[in-house]
Every structure is written in C-alpha cells, then in structure tokens.
Amino acid sequence: MAASAADVRSALSIPTPVAGPSQLKKHPSQSSRKPEGISRELYSLIGPSAPSLAAQLAKPRLKQKPNLGGGGKVKWEWRKFKNQARTDSLELSHWVKASTDADTEYAFAKYNLQPPIYSWSEDEYTRLLQGMSTTDAFSENLTWYVIHDRYEFKGGPSRELEDLKDRYYSICRKLVRNRPWHADDASKNQLMASFNFDKEREQVRKKYIANLESRTPEQVQEEEALYLEIKRLEQNERKFKKDREELLRTLAGVDSGLPDIVEDEATFFTIDPKLQKKKSRGFDAESSLLPSIKRAPVVKDPADDAKHCIIRTELSATTPATKAAHTPAFMRSFKLPYPKAAIAPRVTQVLTELGISPSRLVMPTRDNCQRLETLMDEATTLIELKKAVDKSIQDIEVLKARLDIRGNELEETVQTQNLDGDMDMEERGTIEPEGEDGRAQSVVSTRSARSRRQSRRSLSVSSVDTTAASSARPPIKRQKRV
Amino acid sequence: MVNYGGDEVSALVLDIGTSSVRAGYAGDDTPKAIIPTSYGYIAPSPDADVQMGEALDNQGAEQRQKAQLYLGHSGPSLWRANMEITNPMAEGLIQDFNVTSRLVRHAFEDAMRCTPSEHPVLVTEPAWNTPANRERMAEIMFEEFQVPAFYIANTGVLNTFAAGKGSALVIDVGQTMTSVIPVVDGFVLRKGLAYSPLPKLVYAHARHLLTTTSQTRQAIDLSPHQLIANKLPVEPNAPPQYTLREDRLAGTTQTWRTWAEDREVEEWVQNVAGVLDQGWNDQVAASRSPKQYEFPSGYNTWFGGERFAVGEYFFWHPPHLVNTNQNLPKTIPALIGESLRACEPELRQVLMGNVVLTGGGSLYAGFADRLANEMSRGFPHVKIHAPGNPIERRYGGWLGGSILASLGTFHQLWISKEEWQEHGPAIVGQRCK
C-alpha cells in the first residue's frame, strides 16, 4: 500500500523529474572506484569523500583454515600384512596409507602379552612335586573362574576354585624356592609374596559371601532397619553431646576447662552378636540399646564431703520430688543476687570505686561469693541510707524556704489588706494562709503532694549530689512567678 | 586408527539362528543379509514315494539333498505345489549341515554377492554347541568355501561384547531356545549355562489361544494370505468373509501350512503380545488398552487381557500345566536361579550388575521391566542392559561378532587355512575357547 515517490508525484501533478542536476552529479561519483575495506552501503552514503579512517577499515577476514597436513589427496591401498603375533604365515589384508612403510611391524602385535606361567620339567616333578597329586591340566591362563569352570580331570577328584588356586600357588612357591635365582633376594621374596595364598581365609571369605547372599528378604529388611536405628541413636547422642558442650561453653566462658565428655561410643559401634540376636528375637531394642543412665545411689558421708570440698544443698522436705521441682546443676557465681534495678548502677559505681568487678569473679569460690554478696548488700544499704539522708536534707530546705516565704507574706498581708476579687484559685491557694477556707486547703494539700512526688522522681533519676538542688528548685520557681 | 583398536580386514560374520541366517561384513552395525533359516524343498520324483517305508529318515535327508531347494526370502514364503518346509536347526544346534552349507552359500553369494574364499569368516555358535558340530562347521568353511581364516565364537560372549562389556549374564531369548549364559572376561562359564526350549511353549500357547473359541470370540482361522482368494472387510469381531484358493489347497503340504500358520502366530505375537511388568494380575491386564489386529482372513478384533497372557509363560507356568506336564521347559527366573547357583558366590553380584537381555524373543512390550522386577526380588542391585533398538536386540550376536572380527588385536586368533591343514579339527577346540 506504500505509495511510491512516483505515485505522490502523479497525485500532486508534479512532473516526473528528468535527469536532474543532482543525478548528473552522481554519475562521476559512481564511476569512481569504491575503496577497499569499506562497505558498499556506507560508500553510497558518504560518497567518494572517504575519510582517512577508511584506510584502517580492514576487510573482515575469516579465521585461517587449519592446515591438516599434506593438503592433497591421501592415497590408501589394500595391502597384505603379516601379524607378528601369529606363528603361521597367514596374510590378511587391510587398507593402509600408501605412504606407510610395508615392513613396519603390525601395530597390534605388541598387545600379544603372555602371562608368565610356570611349567616344570620331569626331574623337578619327581623331585619336588610328587605326592601333591599334581596334574598339569591347568596352567594356561590365570582367569581363575574360567579355569575352575573348565577343570575336568577325568578320574580325579572334583576341586573347588580354592583348591586349584592353592595348588598352583604352592607349586609356584616351591619352584621359585628351589630353582637357582639370579637376582637379589629381595626380588625373590617379593615374587614369593605374590604367590602367597591363604586357602583357609579364602574359603571363610567365600562362605561369608554365600551367607550374605542367602539372607531372606525379611532378614535383609530387618538388618537395614536395625542399621537405621543405630544411625539414629548415634545421631541423637552426637546432638546431645554437642548441646551439652555448647551449654557449658556459654556458661563458663570461652574455655570450660572441663575435659570433653566421652560418650559411650563403644556401645553403638561394636554390635555384639548377643545383643543383635536378642533384638532379632523381637526384644525391645530401646531398653537394650540405651546405656545405663541410672547412677549408683549417692552415699552421703560428711567426712568424705569435707575432703572433696563438697557442699550439699538439701532440698526442703516440702518440695515434691517431681521433675519440675528438680534443680539442675548451676554455677554458684550465677546465683549471686542482683541489686535492685533502680540502684544497680550506683551499686556498680560504688564497687568500681573499690576496684571490684561485680560481673565476673576471678575465683568464684563459695567464700568469695558470700563476701561479694555481703559487700553488695552493704553497698545497697549505704546507698539507700544516703538517699534517705538526702531526702531529709531537702525536706528541711523546702520547709525552711517556705517558712521564709510565710514570714514575708505575713508582712505583705498586713500592708495590703484588700485583695482583687478575680484572683485565680491556684495563686490564692498558695498565697492565702492555711485554714482560710476548706477549698483552698484541699488545693494546697494536692499541691504539696505533687511536689513531693516530683522531687522523688527527680531523685531517682539524677545523681546523688544533684538531687538536693534540682528537687529544691521547682517550688522556688513557682514562688518566683508570684 | 589405533585409537579405537579397529583394523578391518573385510572379514565376514555369519550368525546362524533358528529363525534366520545373518551374514555381513565385520565392522558394520547391521548384517547385510538376513535370510530365513527355514527352507522349502520338493521331493524329486513320485516314484521315490513308493519306496518310502521303514528307511524314511535316512532317505529323507538323502532326498532333500537331491531335491530342489527353495532358500531365502522367496523360498518358503512363496507357495509352491507340494513344497515341504523344514528347518536344519534343532534346539539351536545345526542338525543338517548339507542344507546349512547351501544356506550359507546363498547368504554369501546370492544375497551379499561376495566370494567367501577372499574373506576370513567368523561364525557364531550357541553356548551349548558340541565340539563335533563346531569342527564340522570349520570343515565346511575351509574345505567347501575355501576361506583363508576361520573363527567360531560363542553367541553369549558376542552378546557381551555387543553390550560393551567383558563380563555379563546374557539372557538370550530366541525363537526356540531361551538361555542364560554367564560370561566372565570373555569366557562362558559352562557350568553356569542354563537353557530351555521355552519360546516353543510360548508360541504353542499363543497358537492355542488363537485357535480355540473363547468367551469373547470364536476360534480364528490362521490361513495365510497365500491361500486366500479374496476377502471382504468386516466389523471387529464379526465372522470373516473370505474364500480360500481351492486350486492351491490340494497342493499344500502339511509342513508348509504349519510353517505359514506359525508365521501368522508369530506376527500376531510381535504386534500385539506384551508382558505385565509387575506379574500377572487380572485387573491390571484388563485395564491395559486393547490392541486391534487383523488376520489374513480379514477377521479382526481387539485383544485385551489375553495378549498379556502369552508373555506370562516366560516367567510363570500355571499350576495345572505343571501338574499335567512333567517336562515343562524352565521359566526364565528358574533358569537364572539355576545359572547363578552354579557360579561362584563372588561372581554373582558382578553378573547381576551386568545383565544383557538379547534375542528377538525378548521384544515383548514390558519384557525388560518384568525381568528387572523378577530379578530384583532376589538381588538388590540388578542392572539390565536391553538395547532399545530392535535390530541390536535381535542381532546382538552378529553385532558382537562384527565388533570382534574388526579388532586389530583379534587377528592373531584366526585359525588360518595353513593351521587347519597342519593340525586338523583339534585346532578349533584349542583356539576357540
């Protein structure tokens, strides 16, 4: 649907341009050669005024093709070859490059390896091997399963794989021992060792494998279940141990100083057959597997306690011996009483002045703990006392100030007898003498109560020294307003 | 070239099975020629029939030699008047070597169009082949085909090689025989070999199933298309409308008819039959989607549960059959058990981890899954290698031979003609273990 330039021209009745000046100009530019390394589209856009850049625009090049040798055709020929691994003159043919040498050894001949097989002479046989019921039917290669499979000695006894192996290796050992050996003894011993064969052990091993395979599916399942259970118990134990250690570490700082708790791993790893048999008969696995947790009953001997510095804390007789009432083991230093939160910083301050850190005792023995406890108690008492003293002093000051005011007021009242009627209640209350009317009195009482409370609060917040001044100030301020 | 160890000397690989003879070049992935082993022949003259009497068996073989043989793809499958069909194999072993050599010549010269005297030939044999048989085969190859070199290898070993393994428990389900062959380091453990003519029973059962009237359908006429003049399309499960070729019926021999009908059964089995992977269960069998199949007569129907009943015979025999028949071929699980019992205990786990399923008879849908389920009941770690490609599954033995005969290191094992002439048949037993 796109209208071409010609359509637009015809629609607007513009005459089609005949070779205009612009086109005339184009001709020479087209005739000029496009420089190398610049694309045709680009050249038609920028024209012959090719920038100096064009010189640098190299034509994109493909990666050079790899030279795979020769480049030319490879001539192959169907050639006969002899296999050196063969003893006969069979000549087979295969395709080879014509360039290869015809006399080279067959590439696969080198894989023809013969395992060293011992054979024996007649003399050796009569001297060493007679009476061993030897046959030389087997000694061809050492794929024992196949040897055993093919072993059929007519009239001879049927032999197990182990019999064959044992026979072969014992003969080899005997031959090595009795033949003249040219190399050193070490290599001889090594060779002898390689011919070692423990028939009994192999038979036991085979029997074991057979047993393993003859298990019924139920047995296999049960064994698997037992194995899983053991794994689970083991994991629980490990988790428990880890938790315990972590707890100790958090309680006693970086290094608990306690030796690692040795868990009874033996009970989990050595599955003694008795235990297993018991379980397989359907006994409760839990009861038999869990190590005995119950300890021997504690013997309380005062002499022994003293010797080992054991201090017993007796449970009160009223406490029921339930699990909830049980007190777990704890660190003595953790049971130190904390001062009341309100005065704690000041207690700390006092202790710091004395050069004692209350948070951590270097040696939290029983005596030290007790001492610290008394010290803290005394510090608390001291601070409370000081607080009471401060408060009394302040009260005295307030009262004194009030007394002064009252003295002044008394004088003023005498001077100005008549008072404005619109005086507000509060001011009147403070100014008017006590007991003028019931309402005023009540106001005063509330007022005093509030001021007292305020002073107490400020006391608790500010330091000991400043309390007196700050608590004394507000009433004064109020009075200034008057 | 040395990287993959191959060095091709344009050897021929020949794999003779009961259903087909496979021949091709070593190094290929599929045999070039696959021809049916069954062949047709027409007795030479009617006057010979008169003499037939007590010496029937001896004369039969003689007659066959004289007779015109019809081999290959246009052999037994073409209807010819008075043509008998027979098979040179019995229980996986070659019985009639005269015909076998004809078959081999047909495969090499007519199908492959090559000259056997120019190529070394690798022949396969079943694991239970007799020494006499393999020596005879060597003799045929050297004396009759004038091959420069010969080797005979076991199908179990070759299947192991085709699967890329050295040790395996090969489960080979063929047309007549099922065998379980333990292979260790490229050698068959003969004591662990177990085999039975199980597929025969399965086909007999399938045939019985089709040709007897059941609750849902009538007995099926298995007449092959060669005997049908015309037919009309009918609705599923409707009686077929067809006419037989009366002109041919008279000249049709019983052996040809049996052979042709067996082929129909086989075709049906290949298209429809399956195995339930979790053991027989009427509900599961009924719940599987039925498959439609049309016979040459035009009769067609949907086969539901009964298509799974066929494959079930590989794994389990119903008690009534066991009670009435003493010589029932062993099932596959029984064969596996027997084979493993004869093997060293140490080897069992190795073998179970390398089970190779092969043979055209194992191509039932769900066969490998069922086998895996059956085996994992007794052994925890069973791994079955079952090629999904039907060519690889059916011609695994040939493929292994193709691999073996194209290896550079194998060429030292060929029995050369020179060795044959020098040592005689004994060399076969010595070289091919």
Task: Express each pLDDT in B16-62 by its tens digit.
Answer: 999 999 999 999 999 999 999 999 998 876 554 444 444 445 555 56
Question: Given pLDDT bands bounded at 50, 70 and 90, which one contains residue B405?
Answer: very high
**What's the pTM?**
0.63
Å between A121 CA and nearest CA of chain B: 23
Are the Cβ atoms of A93 and B416 closer than 8 angstroms?
no
Instruction: Please indicate whether, in this complex, the C-beta atoms of B345 and A206 are within 8 angstroms of each other.
Output: yes
The pLDDT value given to residue A418: 53
pLDDT digits (tens, 9 = 90+) for B216-256: 888 899 999 999 999 999 999 899 999 999 999 988 999 99
For B412, the closest of A86, A145, A150 (CB atoms) is A86
Higher pLDDT, B405 or A167: B405
Q: How far is B347 from chain A (nearest CA, A)?
A: 9
Q: What is the pLDDT of residue B422?
A: 92
pLDDT for position A16: 60
Q: What is the ipTM of this complex?
A: 0.78
Whether A143 sits inside 8 A of B187 (CB atoms) is yes
- Are B1 and A112 a contacting pair at CB < 8 A? no
- Answer whether A88 sits within 8 Å of B419, measured CB to CB: yes
What secondary structure, in 3-state letters, does chain B show?
Answer: CCCCCECCCCCEEEEECCCEEEEEECCCCCCCEEEECCEEEECCCHHHHHHCCCCHHHHHHHHHHHCEEECCCCCCCCCCCCCEEECCEECCEECCHHHHHHHHHHHHHHHCCCCHHHCCEEEEECCCCCHHHHHHHHHHHHHHCCCCEEEEEEHHHHHHHHCCCCCEEEEEECCCCEEEEEEECCEECHHHCEEECHHHHHHHHHHHHHHCCCCCCCCCCCCCHHHEEEEECCCCCCCCEEEECHHHHCCCCHHHHHHHHHHHHHHHHHHHCECCCCCCCHHHHHHCCCEEEECCCCCEEEECCHHHHHHHCCCCCCHHHHHHCCCCCCCHHHHHHHHHHCCCHHHHHHHHCCEEEECHHHCCECHHHHHHHHHHHHCCCCCEECCCCHHHHHCHHHHHHHHHHCEHHHHHCCEEHHHHHHHCCHHHHHHCC
pLDDT in tens, A416-451: 655 544 444 444 444 444 444 444 444 444 444 444
Contacts of A86 in chain B (CB under 8 A): 411-412, 414, 416
Over residues A25-70, the pLDDT tens digits come to 444 444 566 667 677 888 788 777 655 555 556 667 788 877 776 6
- Give yes or no for A260 touching B (CB within 8 A): no
A375-395 pLDDT, tens digit per residue, is: 888 888 999 999 999 999 999
